[in-house]
Amino acid sequence: MTEALPFYKTALWVTLKLAGIGIVFAIIIGLLCSVILYFKIRILTNIVRVYLEVARNTPLLIQLFFLYYGLPKIGIMFSEEQCGIIGLAFLGGSYMAEVFRSGMEAVSKTQVEAGKAIGLSNTQLMRNIIIPQAISYSVPGFGANCIFLIKETSVFSGIAIFELTNTTKNLMGIFYKTNEALLMLVIGYLIILLPLSLFLTWLERRVRHAEFGN
Amino acid sequence: MLNSAINVLFEGRNMYRLIEGLLVTLKIGFIAVVITIVAGFVIGIIRTSKNKMVQLPFRIYLELFRIIPILVWLFVIYYIVPANFELSLSSETVALIVFSLWGTAEMSDIVRGAVISLPKHQLESSKALGLSIVQMYQYVLIPQAIKRVIPPMINLITRMVKTTALLTMIGVVEVIKVGQQIIEVNNSHYPTIAFWVYGLLFFLYFCICFPLSQLSRKLEQKWAV
Amino acid sequence: MSGSDPILQVKKLIKTFGKKVVLNGIDLDVHKGKVIAILGPSGCGKSTFLRCLNGLEDVQGGDILLENKSLVNKATNWRLVRQRIGMVFQSYDLFPNLTVIENILLSPLKVQKRNRQEAENQALELLERVGLKDRADDYPRQLSGGQKQRIAIIRALCMNPEIMLFDEVTASLDPEMVREVLEVIAHLANQGMTMLIVTHEMNFARLVADEVVFMEQGSIVERTPAEQFFTKPNTERAQQFLNILQF
């Protein structure tokens, strides 16, 4: 099985890379959407709402198929990796938007009013008061989303990206060592997700202490 | 060229086969959901026990399904079982097993969470009013527990429906596979067919999942604690 | 503007929440340097009235004039107005992610764009006056309610407002901390700050206020010099109110 290790290393790296980039874009999209929803900006609010419903009610696999097989037919072509990242960002953005939005809503209204009373603008309110406090409310949900999105990379197998799951499938075909291959696969995900999970629990505690001293 | 491709969907038995595929998905989903609700409920109640010995195995079970992606589970059961045990399983059976196990694990967590979150003082107040244990459960606890269970349960069902898309990856002939077959057959004549087929599938899943998630949200608002 | 014009004028102010009329035509003139206590039973609209004056609530009728300039129109830049009319709330909301000094300097630096050294000097001097200069680098969670409220007042003062609004600022405090906050407000009054104070602390109102405005159900029932209000108010309603408070 040791011949297979380099493949696993690459697969691990691909999984991490695509998940990482996808998550970063998901965070950006999520932040934008949640700010729009919080301030109830006209027109954009409706667009965001439609986006959220569509992204959350369709499977990632279909989104990927549509991006990878469907769009080229009308002239828009993305590489597999690009499709993966776009799909993850599209899906992940909606989940992040939800988490950030509820984090912002959890910041007490009296804090926001106190900020208004000293003359802060909406941007200043968001930057100095709402977001710093929303972060500590958002960390648990944010962590759960990250774990979810990393797991979703397994779906990339459907469009021939060689992340962990797809690599394993092929290796099983080449080496016929089903049990070992699948064990490595599970270990692969554990390597990524266990440390992440521990880190997020630590982060949660740390941020809560910094904000509220408990 | 673009418009003529969409007509392929209505040609011949295409629509019929697509619906057949959808029914395969829905059948698997339905059975898995029924098992999930029943078994999840039972295990959820069991897990409310404070006994660490009881908690541990179930906790491991839940975490296994939380950490390992469902697609991986599908592959594991699909490949490992025939390789190690003299059993050959159809992809539908594999799908059913994995989805039932996954659903039950999550459902048990929902039920357990709902039961634990019931306010203790309600138990004391009902005792003070002279209600028997059975009456307590009937009039106070169960109605409240139901309100806390149903919205997340519908949410879980929605997620399970979405995940049925993965079944195409282990060869179940469900709606996506049918769609892909249609594309294969018609691709030479109508190059844009892929756009329309996947577009349709996108729309189909949305039409099934959106009402479910709306229902969950409405109920959650209506029953807000 | 001549010296005898009121700095703040409220004319027939009307505020509704949906169908419910909360303020029913309020008329009030506030002269510079005067301290007005606003008293009344719960729900009479006194907090809402205050919140209309710095734009936290919109109004459905009437006018508010700051130095003869109307605030009730779309063109009003409330951010500028709020630098001139400061407000302190019952909930002493200091921003938990900032230290005391950062809380106080947030507006002078980011909104008023003042020179950092100058603003900091003022902030430290104000902190010194209330005896909290040594807490400048602490976080709000390390302070008591009374300390937080005093800092909330300083935070508002550091903007150099012309008018200060106080909305039941001692109502959430433990009794032993009420005094230290009231002392700060009394000190401000002595220095000639124009103030509108909504409070339940009758003794305090009696000592500090020049006038009392008594409200009920969205209208001003009476407006009387403070000492007179507490000894012999003009209206029966006010007398009943005071009687209830004598247990």
Residue of B75, B161, B170, B200 to mutate when probing chain A, most A C-beta within 10 A = B75
Whole-Å CA distances, A32 to A116, A126, C40, C240 = 22, 12, 45, 55
Q: Which residues of A touch C152 (CB under 8 A)?
A: 114
CA of B134 vs chain A CAs: smallest distance (Å)? 37
Q: Kindly state the tokens that stand for B38.
A: 């029943």
Asked if the model's pLDDT at residue C203 lies above 90, the reply is no
| Position C159 in a domain | yes
Distance of alpha carbon B147 from alpha carbon C124, whole angstroms:
54
Asked if the model's pLDDT at residue C232 lies above 50, the reply is yes
Answer whether B200 touches A (CB < 8 Å). no
Instruction: Give the model confidence (pLDDT) of B91-122 as tens digits.
Output: 888 999 999 999 999 999 898 888 888 777 77
Strand order of the β-sheet with C85-88 is C85-88, C163-167, C194-198, C35-39, C211-216, C219-225
Q: Which residues of A touch B158 (CB under 8 A)?
A: 57
CATH number of domain containing C197: 3.40.50.300
Give the pLDDT mean for C64-86: 88
Asked if the model's pLDDT at residue C37 lies above 50, the reply is yes
Chain-centre distance of CA A157, in angstroms?
Answer: 18
**CB of C103 within 8 A of CB of C159?**
no
Asked if the model's pLDDT at residue A72 lies above 90, the reply is no
Give the pLDDT mean for C36-47: 90
A neighbour chains, 3+ CB pairs within 8 Å: B, C
Q: Which amino acid is at B81?
A: V
**CB of A139 within 8 A of CB of A203?**
yes
User: What residues make up the domain containing C52?
Assistant: 8-245
CA of A139 vs chain B CAs: smallest distance (Å)? 18
| Position C3 in a domain | no
| Position C226 in a domain | yes
CA of B122 vs chain A CAs: smallest distance (Å)? 27
Asked if the model's pLDDT at residue C106 lies above 50, the reply is yes
Closest CB from A111, A117, A121 relative to C87: A117
Instruction: Give the model confidence (pLDDT) of B144-154 as tens digits.
Output: 888 888 988 99
Instruction: Give me chain B's average pLDDT, please.
Output: 84
Residue of C81, C91, C144 to mutate when probing chain A, most A C-beta within 10 A = C91
Instruction: Give me chain C's average pLDDT, please.
Output: 90
Answer whether A148 touches B (CB < 8 Å). no
Instruction: Give the model confidence (pLDDT) of B178-193 as tens digits.
Output: 888 888 888 777 778 8
Q: Which residues of C touch A209 (CB under 8 A)?
A: none
In total, how many domains does chain B have? 1
CA of A128 vs chain B CAs: smallest distance (Å)? 31
CATH number of domain containing B187: 1.10.3720.10
Q: What is the model's pLDDT at position B3?
A: 63
Q: Which residues of C touch A133 (CB under 8 A)?
A: 95-97
| CA distance from start to end of chain A | 49
Give the pLDDT mean for B59-75: 88
Q: Which residues of C touch A134 (CB under 8 A)?
A: none
Answer whether A154 touches B (CB < 8 Å). yes
Residue of B66, B64, B97, B65 lying closest to B80 (CA atoms): B97
Asked if the model's pLDDT at residue B208 lies above 80, the reply is yes
CA of B118 vs chain A CAs: smallest distance (Å)? 22
Q: What is the model's pLDDT at position B2?
A: 55
Q: Do C93 and A118 touch (CB under 8 A)?
A: no
Q: What is the model's pLDDT at position C3?
A: 57
ipTM for the predicted complex comes to 0.83
Closest CB from A74, A154, A178 relative to B195: A74
Query: What is the interface size between A and C, counted as CB pairs within 8 Å?
Result: 72
Distance of alpha carbon A200 from alpha carbon A194, whole angstroms:
10
| Position C2 in a domain | no
Q: Kindly state the tokens that stand for B17.
A: 């086969």
Q: Which residues of A touch B75 (CB under 8 A)?
A: 165, 168-169, 182, 185
Q: What is the model's pLDDT at position C1?
A: 46
Give the pLDDT mean for C146-157: 93
In total, how many domains does chain C have? 1
Q: Do B68 and A58 touch (CB under 8 A)?
A: no
Q: Are A and B close enough to touch, i.e. 3+ CB pairs under 8 angstroms?
A: yes
**CB of A84 within 8 A of CB of A161?**
yes
Q: What is the model's pLDDT at position A90?
A: 95
Distance of alpha carbon B123 from alpha carbon B136, whole angstroms:
7
Q: Do A57 and B67 touch (CB under 8 A)?
A: no
Helix or strand (DSSP H, E) at A166: helix A164-175
Q: Which residues of A touch B192 (CB under 8 A)?
A: 73-74
Q: Do C79 and A108 touch (CB under 8 A)?
A: no
Residue of C nearest to A134 (CA): C97
pTM of the model: 0.81
Instruction: Give the model confidence (pLDDT) of B9-27 as tens digits.
Output: 777 777 888 888 889 988 9
Domains of chain A are: 2-212 (1.10.3720.10)
Query: Which residues contact residue B43 at a Cβ distance below 8 angstroms, ignoring those fewer than 6 apart?
Result: B58, B104, B107, B108, B111
Answer whether A196 touches B (CB < 8 Å). no
Residue A89 binned pLDDT confidence (cut-offs 50, 70, 90): very high
**CB of C160 within 8 A of CB of C123?**
no
CA of A18 vs chain C CAs: smallest distance (Å)? 33
Distance of alpha carbon C144 from alpha carbon C44, whole angstroms:
30
